[in-house]
Amino acid sequence: MSTQEFDADPDAPVIELSGVSFGYAATPVVKDVSLAVDPGEYVAVVGPNGSGKSTLLQLTLGLLEPDAGTVRLFGSHADRFDNGERVGYVAQQASAAREMPITVREVVKMGRFPHVGFGRLSSEDWAIVDDALSTVGMSAFADRRITRLSGGQRQRAFIARALAGEADLLVLDEPTVGVDAESVDAFYTLLGALNAERITVLLIEHDIAAVAEHADRVVCLNREVYFDGSSGEFVESDALARAFGTASIGGEDG
């Protein structure tokens, strides 16, 4: 596969949505959304329940095709993007598989599959797996069943899987749902450290206070974009009042 399409301009947006609309039947879910995420950015998308956040994520990953507008990943149309190792996806804790009878190391090993298929991993591949485990602080849990981890530990394991794939972009869908407060703090510390290493982060999050504290940029969505700017500007704006129906920052949107 040629990578020229993706690597032609290293400064081009990692994600680019232009005039994107999507709906089910006659009901609009996302309407005329345009935004770009540049390499190395840390962007959080917030909005009330039913605001289109998860739909926007699926459009971004090419899992849904927009009714109007275009979506690009690394310069390629998202629905035709086939350089999957560049994207690491971490699902909601609530929807992460809890019954997989496999170890943490085996979960992280899956991150190498885009590079080696389902064949035998080389010693270099295993070194990458172990390095990913070390990066997220999960080396001591490598041989533990994924089902025996806490919520925060499980999310770290799935981030390690993305790192083992050498992803340039982390896409996280409300990853702190069901995770205790102490683990949430450690989780955001890890995300900040990864972003400092130039990994681009796109985060769908329900915890507005955490977003305001940790993300560099906030996109406030309720079908349409109500705000797109720095977290500091978001706190000072009226975006919450307009999109959420409340002006307070201090917890979940429900």
Cα separation, 72 vs 66, in Å, equals: 11
Cα separation, 209 vs 252, in Å, equals: 8
pLDDT of residue 9: 66
Computed on alpha carbons and rounded to an integer, the radius of gyration of the chain in Å comes to 18
Residue 1, pLDDT > 60, answer: no
Under CATH, domain 4-243 is a member of which superfamily? P-loop containing nucleotide triphosphate hydrolases (3.40.50.300)
Using DSSP, state whether 191 is helix, strand or coil: helix
pLDDT tens-digit map of 3-38:
334 445 677 899 999 999 999 887 889 999 999 999
pLDDT tens-digit map of 183-241:
888 889 999 999 999 999 999 988 888 888 999 999 999 999 999 999 999 988 888 77
C-alpha dihedral sign at 64, 69, 74, 79? positive
- The band of 90, judged by pLDDT with boundaries at 50, 70 and 90, is confident
Please name every residue paired with 172 in a beta bridge, in sequence order, or none if there are none: 90, 203
Q: Among 62, 124, 134, 70, which Cα is nearest to 104's?
A: 134
| Backbone dihedral angles phi then psi of residue 189, each to the nearest 5 degrees | -60, -45
pLDDT tens-digit map of 126-179:
999 999 999 999 999 999 998 888 888 888 898 999 899 889 999 999 888 777
Q: Is 72 within 8 Å of 78 (Cβ atoms)?
A: yes
Q: Is 93 within 8 Å of 159 (Cβ atoms)?
A: no
Question: Measuring CA to CA, how many Å separate 228 from each of 34, 63, 155, 218, 254?
Answer: 10, 24, 27, 6, 21
| Backbone dihedral angles phi then psi of residue 42, each to the nearest 5 degrees | -125, 100
Q: Is 146 within 8 Å of 155 (Cβ atoms)?
A: no
Q: What is the mean pLDDT of residues 49-69?
A: 93
Cα separation, 108 vs 128, in Å, equals: 10
Domain boundaries, the chain: 4-243
